[in-house]
Amino acid sequence: MKSSVIRALIALVVGGALTLAAFLGAFFWAGVPDFGFVRTAQQTDSVRYQGPFVQDVDEARYLRNFVGYEADITADGTLTEGRITEASEDGVTLETDAGDVTIAAADFDSAQVHGSTYGRPDWGQKIFYFHVPVAEISFIVFGFAAFYSIRFIMTRRREYDTKARVSMEVTLLFVMFTMATGILWTRAAWGVWWMWEPRLTTYFIMTLLVIGYFVLRNAVEDEERRALYAAAFGILAFIDAPISFFITRLIPSNHPVIERGGLEPPMLATFIIAQIGMILLGYAIYQLRMGEVLLRDRIEHAKTLLER
């Protein structure tokens, strides 16, 4: 067997094992990463969260979502600290050191809710361990596709076209994974399947660019022309993607951002294991697909030689 195939199989096994380990780690070891919190009313409805957090609430009725949580409520200019035992449209009842206190909604100014261990663990957030590595890899492979496209334009050697094409196929695969995991998370965290939110929008555009690449390839008859056109479009797409990304940031975003040092050691370890595992998986998929394409080429070549 060729060494590249052996390497690919090793990567497949190791990458698979690491990904599985990360999967187990994410659910049984690492906690939920503390990333950005939701702000709008619609989103607050679906909040289920475990772990330390502080949430500002500016309307009394939203406190219904935080029954059982510790809260500092400012009403009529005075601060009351305690645990929420009851909350409705009319007001909120707090259990404080000095006994129960009821605050009418009309007096309510603002509240800070502190997360405690009482809430349900939010499994939805755990998709982070897979969604982020997959998204990162999709960018990396996209970069490889662009790199091979440039190499092709410079050398006109068919092998680079093949490499660019296979890289783009892997990009498409990872883009699809990212989209799928992203959409699931969006539903769980924001209560909607889709939102025209900068990251999502940019990613959607990138998906379209990758699909466009294959539409273009399929529409060109001549092999060499197809390779040249595809390479040119691959390069343009790769230049276009970051521009799309940055300009879309001008629209206000809800997408969570991990802050520096925001991950506890078990989380970080799980995340890194997931990342390495998926990089290996990506490499394995690329190599195996490449091997298949090259084999096909050799069969084609053998056929033409036989016809001679």
Partner 1 sequence: MASASMRQFKAMLRKDVVMELRTKEMLMSMGLYSLLTMVVYFVALSQAGAGFDPRDIAAGLLWLAFIFTSMLGLNRSLVHEKDQGCLEALLLSPVDRPVIYFAKVTGNLLFLLIVEALTIPVFAFLFLQGETIDLRTMALIPLVLVAGSIGIAGVGTLLATMSVNTSGKDFVLAMLFIPLIYPLLLGAVMATGAAIVGTPEALGVFWTGMAWVIGYDVIMLLASYGLYEFIVGA
Partner 2 sequence: MGDEPQTTALEVRELTRAFGVRRALDGVSFELPPYAFLSIFGPNGAGKTTLVKVLTTLLNPTSGNAKVLGLDVVADAVEMRKRIGLISHNPLLYPDLTAEENLRFFSEMYDVPDARGRVAELLEAVELDHRRLDLTRTFSRGMLQRLSIARALLHRPEVIFLDEPYSGLDPHAMDILDGLIAQIRHEHTFVMISHDLDKGLELCSHALILARGRIVMYEPREAIDDAAFRETYRSTVGMGVA
From the list partner 2, partner 1, none, partner contacted by residue 308 (C-beta under 5 to 8 A by kind): partner 2
Q: Say which residues have a Cβ less than 8 Å from residue 5's Cβ, sequence separation at least 6.
A: 287, 288, 291
- Which residues from 99-138 bind partner 1, rule CB under 8 A? none
Please compute, for residue 75, the number of CA atoms within 13 A of its CA located in the half-sphere on the CB side: 19
As a whole number of angstroms, the distance between CA 137 and CA 146 comes to 14
Three-class DSSP labels, 78-103: EEEEEEEEEECCCEEEEEECCEEEEE
Q: Say which residues have a Cβ less than 8 Å from residue 151's Cβ, sequence separation at least 6.
A: 157, 160, 163, 164
Site track 142-171 with partner 1 (rule: CB under 8 A), x = hit: -----------x------------------
* CA dihedral over 28, 33, 39, 40, signed as positive or negative: negative
Q: What is the nearest approach in angstroms of partner 2 to the Cβ of residue 296?
A: 11
Q: Which span (1-9, 86-94, 95-103, 205-213) binds partner 1, by CB under 8 A?
A: 205-213
Q: Which of 41, 79, 106, 215 binds partner 1 (CB under 8 A)?
A: 215
Q: Which of 87, 227, 284, 285 binds partner 2 (CB under 8 A)?
A: 227
Angle of helix 128-155 relative to helix 223-248, nearest 10 degrees, comes to: 140
| 98 is a site residue for partner 1 (CB under 8 A) | no
Neighbours of 85 (CB within 10 A): 13
- Which residues from 247-286 bind partner 1, rule CB under 8 A? 247-248, 250
As a whole number of angstroms, the distance between CA 198 and CA 45 comes to 22
Could you list the beta-strand ranges (E) of 138-182. none
Question: CB-wise, 250 or 306, nearer to partner 2?
Answer: 306
Q: What is the nearest approach in angstroms of partner 2 to the Cβ of residue 300?
A: 7
Q: What is the nearest approach in angstroms of partner 2 to the Cβ of residue 129?
A: 41
Q: Is 304 helix (H, G, I), strand (E, B) or coil?
A: helix
Question: CB-wise, 173 or 227, nearer to partner 2?
Answer: 227
Q: Looking up tokens 């190599």, which residue turns up?
A: 287
Question: CB-wise, 216 or 288, nearer to partner 1?
Answer: 216
Q: Which residues pair with 81 in a beta bridge?
A: 72
Residues 191 and 43 sit within 8 Å (Cβ to Cβ)? yes
Q: Which of 6, 106, 239, 295 binds partner 1 (CB under 8 A)?
A: 239
| 24 is a site residue for partner 1 (CB under 8 A) | no
Residues that bind partner 1 (CB under 8 A): 153, 205, 208-209, 211-212, 215-216, 219-222, 224-225, 228-229, 231-233, 235-237, 239-240, 243-244, 247-248, 250
Q: Which residues of the shown chain bind partner 2 in the complex (CB under 8 A)?
A: 156, 158-159, 223-224, 227, 297, 300-301, 304, 307-308
